Chains A and B, each alone.
Chain A
């Protein structure tokens, strides 16, 4: 139930931000639309720990800043490779076991790998990631990485218990 209420609140906030008008008619229409979407989503059975992961809460806001710094660092590194006249690439694929136990954790890890330039996650399954790296070092750096530990901290202990 708390998930449904939170979904309604988020949807209504989204409506208000996108519209920017505060007339009774438009606010009322927003409430009706948010209610309708929340009802439909509930009927489709997608309001769960995957579809609306509110249990992650404030941890999201400590993980993202760390990720942004990583993105800028590797974007700078790829830029240097591109601008190097010799184009020093050594494309490599690695297969390894990620440390996450929940679906949300695995998706976050895979998305973070793809978001940082120089690495792309190609196969994603529980217990097996296949990652393509622009250089051998980039690809090997994904195995037992700091990112792996950060995402484990991000998915939390309670989430692991829920999935088990």
Chain B
């Protein structure tokens, strides 16, 4: 493995790990359910994405990389669906999101 790819993969894994830690800190710091969901989507998307990219660079052009791409596509479809379902369920069950303006802004 060439040195350049090694350094790139190392960088990518570090960035992904940093996004995961920041997202976790955000989940603790945010005040309510909906803003916590926003913080949780940072490790879900950017965190997982950079970690996968780093691992792909480590694996090179092998079957492992193809499997990592499949995992990435799965996350790409499953994680927003789960987040949407959770938030909609919370809203339906009567959890009121605190809003800066106090009401839904409607633009048509």
Contact = CB atoms under 8 A, between A and B. Distances in A.
A82 B25 contact: yes
B97 A78 contact: no
Q: Name which of A68, A114, A118, A123 has the most chain B CB atoms within 10 A of its CB.
A: A114
B48 to A, nearest CB: 11
Contacts of B101: 90, 92, 136
A72 interface: yes
Contact of B100 (A81, A92, A120): A92
B88 to A, nearest CB: 6
B30 to A, nearest CB: 7
| Interface size class of chain B, counting residues whose CB lies under 8 Å from the partner chain | 35 or more
Contacts of A17: 63, 66-67, 70
A56 B100 CA distance: 39
Given A75-B45, A120-B41, A91 B100 contact: yes
A109 to B, nearest CB: 11
Nearest to A18: B67
A26 interface: no
B1 interface: no
A124 B87 CA distance: 12
User: Which 9 A-B pairs have CB atoms at the shortest separation, nearest pair first?
Assistant: A75-B46, A90-B100, A114-B80, A82-B26, A95-B106, A111-B80, A134-B38, A93-B104, A117-B41
A90 B98 CA distance: 9
A117 B84 contact: no
B59 to A, nearest CB: 13
A71 interface: yes
A114 B41 contact: yes
Given A91-B35, A118-B38, A123 B67 contact: no
Interface in B57-104: 63, 66-67, 70, 76-77, 79-81, 83-84, 87-88, 91, 97-101, 104
